[in-house]
């Protein structure tokens, strides 16, 4: 994510609880398998009825 890169480049920390200001990423958690991996909660459900709403 560019938001994390921008924070790190500015000298701001990225840690448990960091709010990236993006829905689903208001309180990052740390992966139990790898402390260098941060997780958010921004799952989306895509099916035929809403596929056109996403640019992929």
pLDDT recorded at residue 56: 80
Tell me how far apart the alpha carbons of residues 33 and 27 are, in angstroms, rounded to a whole number: 18
Domain ranges, residue 42: 1-56
Measured CA distances, 53 to 22, 24, 25, 50 (Å): 18, 18, 20, 6
Tell me how far apart the alpha carbons of residues 3 and 42 are, in angstroms, rounded to a whole number: 15
pLDDT recorded at residue 1: 61
- How many domains are there within the chain? 1
**Global pTM value:** 0.71
Q: Is the pLDDT of residue 8 over 90?
A: yes
Residue 10's pLDDT band, with cuts at 50, 70 and 90, is very high
18-56: pLDDT as tens digits: 999 999 999 999 999 999 999 999 988 999 999 999 888
């Amino acid at each position: 994510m560019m938001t994390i890169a921008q924070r790190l480049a500015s000298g701001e920390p990225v840690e448990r609880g960091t709010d990236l200001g993006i829905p689903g990423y208001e309180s990052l958690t740390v992966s139990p398998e790898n402390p260098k991996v941060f997780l958010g909660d921004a799952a989306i459900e895509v099916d035929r009825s809403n596929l056109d709403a996403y640019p992929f």
